[in-house]
């Protein structure tokens, strides 16, 4: 199964893609994900790290997220929904932590502004230029193995031609 997951990740190149568990803990990532994690503290990246924390922590990618109020709200809202749907205490604690990280930033902007609740782009400053990425999340819902059933593939796709060209290089 691990080989199949690695095959899926490499199939998304040159675009970033990750596999996470139900808590957002990183299971695997393709090489392109390094563009997203560049500049983040080492303890916030790599297998076992939490991608929600990576996204919203001051030492993660949050300083490079150009639309942090909206992107952060998207993450916090996804966690709130998952927590209320499952009554999972660990998700509730994670939701509270991510909300505190989001509120900890001194970023101007109203999180409600332009918030659709879905299809929120990630606008990210990178060494290759500013990227505009959409994400898709795929679950392995029909998996018989409970561990596999709790995994999600998150693929970051270019939202515009400029981003596609930057990632292709």
pLDDT in tens, 129-147: 999 999 988 887 665 665 6
Q: Can you give the pLDDT at residue 58? A: 94
Q: What is the pLDDT of residues 28-70, one digit of tens each?
A: 999 999 999 999 999 999 889 999 999 999 999 999 999 998 8
Q: Which CATH number fits domain 2-168: 1.10.150, 3.30.300, 3.30.450, 2.60.40?
A: 3.30.450
**Exposed / middle / buried, residue 164 (Cβ in 10 Å: 0-12, 13-18, 19+):** middle
Write the pLDDT tens digit of every residue in 107-128: 545 455 554 556 789 999 999 9
Q: Which residue has the higher pLDDT, 162 or 137?
A: 162
Sign, CA dihedral 78-138-86-50, equals negative
Position 137 scores a pLDDT of 87
Name the 3-class secondary structure at 52. Answer: helix
Q: Sketch the domain layout of the chain as residue ranges.
A: 2-168
Q: Is the pLDDT of residue 6 over 60?
A: yes
Residue-level pLDDT at 118: 60
Nearest to 57 by CA among 71, 38, 75, 44: 44
Cβ contact 134:121 at 8 Å:
yes
Query: pLDDT tier at 168 (50, 70, 90 boundaries)?
Result: very high
Tell me, what's the pLDDT at 104?
75
Distance (Å, rounded) from C-alpha 122 to C-alpha 109? 15
């Amino acid at each position: 199964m691990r080989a199949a997951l690695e095959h899926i990740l490499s199939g998304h190149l040159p675009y970033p893609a990750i596999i996470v568990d139900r808590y957002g803990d990183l299971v695997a990532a393709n090489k392109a994900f390094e563009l997203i994690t560049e500049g983040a503290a080492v303890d916030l990246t790599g297998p076992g790290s939490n991608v929600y924390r990576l996204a919203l922590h001051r030492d993660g990618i949050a300083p490079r997220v150009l639309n942090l109020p909206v992107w952060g709200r998207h993450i916090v809202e996804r966690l709130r929904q998952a927590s209320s749907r499952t009554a999972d205490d660990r998700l509730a604690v994670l939701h509270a932590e991510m909300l505190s990280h989001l509120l900890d930033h001194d970023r101007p902007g109203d999180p409600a502004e332009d918030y659709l609740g879905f299809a929120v782009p990630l606008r990210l400053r990178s060494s290759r230029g500013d990227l505009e990425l959409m994400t898709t999340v795929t679950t392995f819902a029909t998996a018989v193995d409970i561990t596999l059933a709790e995994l999600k593939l998150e693929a970051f796709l270019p939202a515009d031609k400029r981003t596609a060209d930057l990632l292709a290089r």
